[in-house]
């Protein structure tokens, strides 16, 4: 069995590791020509589901490197007003389990981790254009005029998937009406002093009138500005990072990251064409009256790191007839960042598909029934996550309406302040937040 994976992002690379370990022939075709192309140094929250999937798919030492290269664990989840007053602050449990736990990960670092050991598997500069199915085989065509033929083609080519466009033309993407602007600034004495200590040590959500929201993350790594290991790191972690070749391609350094979001009509119409300082100005125009420290964070941002995101979502599909083309991750279930589970769901897909292909390897299933079983499960949890993520980020939310929005915000703050002051309520809220991110779910196991 030969598997062709289109797209070397989170899901595609993780799947390739599992297949390689299972002794199944796999090739990944990635559009970006260089290992460092297209990488953004932003955070992605890998939850217990995503961690379990990576643990199942990666070789043990590489999984340990993934854990060792994560950013410092956040201690608090905070909700604040736009003048930096605390509405709610929950202490997060310390990470004791390296697998079933939440991790703050730099996308760039994770990509370098996932590329480690795949030198013979990933082909760069391969922009997929179309596929053809003939008999039991499928052939992928690339923009450079080359082709590749295999038994199964896996679309892991993200939200704009060319494979999906050809294979499932009925699949639709929708605008949510929400635009986000993101930026980063290095951690310095000045930037550190701008945020309250709990914000510095946590993940913080600012909810302001008119439905304007802002998320703030602080990312601190185990290495310094020059890429040298910081002092005082534990022995095993230090050894793993020292031996890891990925660090030489990784320019991730400690930073504070903010992401502002609002409905389209509150943001300049040409926002998607703006870059750098113009995006910082748009952030400042969106936040008049916000605490001067927050506005200073926007001003101190490195313009080169700013980018706008038009938040889109897929529309759940009816099941389709299974063939030797299938899809994982954003290629099939792009979702809003509302619940922070898009990458985690892509990883869950990778482990579930890999498990089915191991069944085929061992002669317990034929290819098409195995893919059908994967798709039935994936369609279920994937589109469930799409709908729940959409409910968290939509311009239809009353929070965005002028009068009713203020009432809704005031009501929400009252409830959250009450929760903040009643420890059993706060514990219950923390536990339900951890549960929806997969803390209590069973293992995603693989018998490779």
Q: Is 309 in the site for ligand FAD (CB under 6 A)?
A: yes
- For residue 433, the Cα-to-chain-centroid distance in whole angstroms is 17
DSSP run (H or E) holding 29:
strand 25-29
Q: DSSP for 46-81?
A: E-HHHHHHHHHHS-HHHHHHHHHTSPPPP-EEEEE-
DSSP run (H or E) holding 243:
helix 235-243
| Min separation Cβ 258 and ligand FAD, Å | 12
Q: Is 69 in the site for ligand FAD (CB under 6 A)?
A: no
Instruction: Pick out residues in 163-222 that bind ligand FAD (CB under 6 A).
Output: 180
Scanning 3-11, 250-258, 394-402, 432-440 for contacts with ligand FAD by CB under 6 A, the matching segment is 3-11
| CB closer to ligand FAD, 127 vs 397 | 127
Tokens 């514990």, located at residue: 427
| Min separation Cβ 406 and ligand FAD, Å | 26
Distance separating alpha carbons of residues 172 and 258, to the nearest angstrom: 30
Total binding residues for ligand FAD by CB under 6 A? 33
| CB closer to ligand FAD, 77 vs 240 | 77
Distance separating alpha carbons of residues 426 and 443, to the nearest angstrom: 27
Could you tell me if residue 272 is left (phi over 0), alpha (psi between -120 and 50 degrees) or otherwise beta? alpha
Q: Measured at the alpha carbon of residue 363, what is the angle toward residues 357 and 364, in degrees to the nearest 5?
A: 80
CA dihedral 184, 310, 250, 342 (to 10 degrees): 120
Scanning 150-158, 228-236, 285-293, 297-305 for contacts with ligand FAD by CB under 6 A, the matching segment is 150-158
| Min separation Cβ 306 and ligand FAD, Å | 13
Q: Which of 73, 127, 220, 238 binds ligand FAD (CB under 6 A)?
A: 127
Q: Which of 24, 26, 30, 374 binds ligand FAD (CB under 6 A)?
A: 30
| Min separation Cβ 30 and ligand FAD, Å | 5
Distance separating alpha carbons of residues 105 and 340, to the nearest angstrom: 12
| Min separation Cβ 47 and ligand FAD, Å | 7
| CB closer to ligand FAD, 337 vs 357 | 337
| Min separation Cβ 346 and ligand FAD, Å | 4
| CB closer to ligand FAD, 238 vs 397 | 397
Q: Is 9 in the site for ligand FAD (CB under 6 A)?
A: yes
| Min separation Cβ 140 and ligand FAD, Å | 9
Tell me whether residue 86 is exposed, middle or buried, using C-beta atoms within 10 angstroms of its C-beta: 0 to 12, 13 to 18, 19 or more.
Answer: middle
Binding string, 321-350, against ligand FAD, x = CB under 6 A?
--------xxx-----x--xxxxx-x----
Three-class DSSP category at 426: helix
Please check whether residue 216 is in contact with residue 206, taking contact to mean a CB–CB distance below 8 angstroms. yes
| CB closer to ligand FAD, 291 vs 352 | 352
| Buried b or exposed e, range 180-194, using 16+ CB within 10 angstroms | bbbbbbebeeebeeb
| Min separation Cβ 193 and ligand FAD, Å | 27
Mention every residue, 6+ apart, whose C-beta is less than 8 A from residue 165: 171
| CB closer to ligand FAD, 176 vs 356 | 176
Neighbours of 384 (CB within 10 A): 13
N- to C-terminal Cα separation, the chain:
15
Binding string, 259-298, against ligand FAD, x = CB under 6 A?
----------------------------------------
Distance separating alpha carbons of residues 88 and 77, to the nearest angstrom: 8
| CB closer to ligand FAD, 45 vs 150 | 45
Q: Which residues bind ligand FAD (CB under 6 A)?
A: 6-12, 29-32, 38, 44-45, 126-128, 156-158, 162, 180, 309, 329-331, 337, 340-344, 346
């Amino acid at each position: 069995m030969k598997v062709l994976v289109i797209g070397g992002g989170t899901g595609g690379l993780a799947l390739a590791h599992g297949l390689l370990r299972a002794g199944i022939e796999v090739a990944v075709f990635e559009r970006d020509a260089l290992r460092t192309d297209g990488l953004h140094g932003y955070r992605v929250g890998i939850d217990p589901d995503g961690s379990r999937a990576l643990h199942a798919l990666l070789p043990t030492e590489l999984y340990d490197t993934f854990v060792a290269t994560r950013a410092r664990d956040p201690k608090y989840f905070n909700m604040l007003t736009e003048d930096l007053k605390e509405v709610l602050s929950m202490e997060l449990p310390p990470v004791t389990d390296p697998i079933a736990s939440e991790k703050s990960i730099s996308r760039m670092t994770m990509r370098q981790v996932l590329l480690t050991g795949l030198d013979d598997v990933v082909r760069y500069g391969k922009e997929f254009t179309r596929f053809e199915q003939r008999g039991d085989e499928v052939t992928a065509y690339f923009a450079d005029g080359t082709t590749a033929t295999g038994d199964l083609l896996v679309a892991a080519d993200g939200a704009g998937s060319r494979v999906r466009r050809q294979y499932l033309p009925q699949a639709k993407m929708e605008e949510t009406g929400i635009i986000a602007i993101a930026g980063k600034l290095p951690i310095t004495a000045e930037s550190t002093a701008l945020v309250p200590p709990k914000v510095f040590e946590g993940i913080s959500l600012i909810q302001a009138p008119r439905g304007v929201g802002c998320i703030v993350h602080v990312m601190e790594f185990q290495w310094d500005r020059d890429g040298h290991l910081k002092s005082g790191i534990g022995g095993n972690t230090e050894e793993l990072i020292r031996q890891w070749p990925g660090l030489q391609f990784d320019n991730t350094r400690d930073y504070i990251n903010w992401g502002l979001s609002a409905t389209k009509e509150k943001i300049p119409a040409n926002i998607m064409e703006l870059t750098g300082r113009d995006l910082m100005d748009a952030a400042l125009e969106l936040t008049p009256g916000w605490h001067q420290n927050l506005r200073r964070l926007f001003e101190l941002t490195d313009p080169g790191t700013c980018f706008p995101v038009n938040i889109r979502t897929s529309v759940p599909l009816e099941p389709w007839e299974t063939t030797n083309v299938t899809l994982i991750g954003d290629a099939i279930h792009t979702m809003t960042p509302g619940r922070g589970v898009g990458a985690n769901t892509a990883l869950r897909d990778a482990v579930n598909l890999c498990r089915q292909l191991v069944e085929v390897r061992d002669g317990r299933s034929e290819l098409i029934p195995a893919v059908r079983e994967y798709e039935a499960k994936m369609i279920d949890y994937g589109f469930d996550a799409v709908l729940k993520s959409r409910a968290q980020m939509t311009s239809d939310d009353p929070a965005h309406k002028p009068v009713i929005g203020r009432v809704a915000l005031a009501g929400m703050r009252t409830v959250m302040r009450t929760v903040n002051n009643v420890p059993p309520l706060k514990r219950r809220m923390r536990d339900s937040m951890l549960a929806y991110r997969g803390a209590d779910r069973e293992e995603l196991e693989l018998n490779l």
